[in-house]
Amino acid sequence: ESLANIALQILEKGKDYNNLENTICQFGYLFVIEGHGIEALFKIVTDVETFYFAAQADSILQLNINEEFFEETTDIFLSLHQ
């Protein structure tokens, strides 16, 4: 929930979304790695567009990727950490 809230703060009302009522947050993966912190790939789907984010340790970055890359990266990461 905290990651999604931080990502929403990066987005701009009127440009990236008009109304957050039906906004969706979907995680490709979310791990807490001892000694490293959080490792996550997730997307926020607004009424305007889909936005992709990565979280590493204590940083969140907005990514310029598409759905195909999101799904491929998720599959690779999950296969490496079974």
**pTM: predicted TM-score of the whole model, two decimal places:** 0.91
pLDDT at position 18 is: 97
Per-residue pLDDT of the chain (82 residues; tens, 9 = 90+): 999 999 999 999 999 999 999 999 999 999 888 888 899 999 999 999 999 999 998 899 999 999 999 999 999 988 987 7
Neighbours of 20 (CB within 10 A): 12
- The owner of tokens 């931080």 is 6
pLDDT at position 15 is: 96
pLDDT at position 76 is: 93
Compute the distance between CA of residue 47 and CA of residue 39 in angstroms, rounded to an integer: 27
